[in-house]
Amino acid sequence: MHRKKLVAANWKMNLSPGQGQDLVKRIKSKLPENLNCEVIIAPPFVYIASLTALLEGSPIQSGAQHCHTESSGAFTGEISADMLSQLGVRYCLVGHSERRQLFQESNDFIRGKVDVILKNHMVPIFCCGEPLEIREKNGQNDFVRKQLEDSLFHLKADVIQQVVIAYEPIWAIGTGVTASPDQAQEMHAYIRSVLEANYGDQVSTEVRILYGGSIKADNAAVLFSQPDVDGGLVGGAALDPDGFLAIIQAGNS
């Protein structure tokens, strides 16, 4: 089965309003004419409304970096999935390693976020991945499997097929170190095997698994050429229009 490649930009906490608008305009103006991969931009919350309007009429879809598990209430500073959905957001990151590490988001909390994202007709991009000390002990498979089991495997087969999984080795995020194509393929194939064991062949074949971890213009094509790598979750390189366009081109080929 052919899985459509997906290239998602996570701007994190970067760019001024003007810089964000300029970046989107430049990417829009130079997109490949025959775009056959999906492209998502997840800016900081405060830019979502203006950038969603700017993206209207283009094939690029808007995403969010985070949401809360509750739909409303006394949660100062938080944003609900319902609010995002009403702004036209289509995708929402969940379980990013920075949220897990810096904000102590547990597997259970992430599970609640997955549910509320789906309830509001958005697609969760579920991030999983191991830190360096786990990789050095060769414990990455068990570590990632537990993340999947705790936060995703309560979903029924027809629902989990809607989820996008992003494997992000924590040791390769923002470090300039990238998992080798073989390392990425090995983990993606393992994730697919865990999906197959729990949900069967159809689900494991349909779910898209992205790679996230220092993707750049010069390594995107070889990473995306791996049979179980279905695109990328792009951090720093997404802030450079030419670099991000080159990554989109790699996903488009």
- Confidence (pLDDT) at 28: 95
- Confidence (pLDDT) at 1: 56
pLDDT in tens, the chain (253 residues): 579 999 999 999 999 999 999 999 999 999 988 899 999 999 999 999 999 999 999 999 999 999 999 999 999 999 999 999 999 999 999 999 999 999 999 999 999 999 999 999 999 999 999 999 999 999 999 999 999 999 999 999 999 999 999 999 998 877 777 789 999 999 999 999 999 999 999 999 999 999 998 899 999 999 999 999 999 999 999 999 999 999 999 999 8
Judge whether 118 and 94 are in contact, CB under 8 Å: no
Report in angstroms the alpha-carbon separations of 67 from 28, 109, 113. Answer: 26, 11, 7
Q: From the CB of residue 198, how many other CB atoms can be counted at a distance below 10 Å?
A: 16
Report in angstroms the alpha-carbon separations of 185 from 13, 130, 147, 153, 179. Answer: 29, 15, 18, 22, 9
- Confidence (pLDDT) at 173: 78
pTM: 0.97
Active centre residues (catalytic): 96, 168
Q: Which amino acid is at 158?
A: D
In angstroms, the CA 106 to CA 124 distance is 16
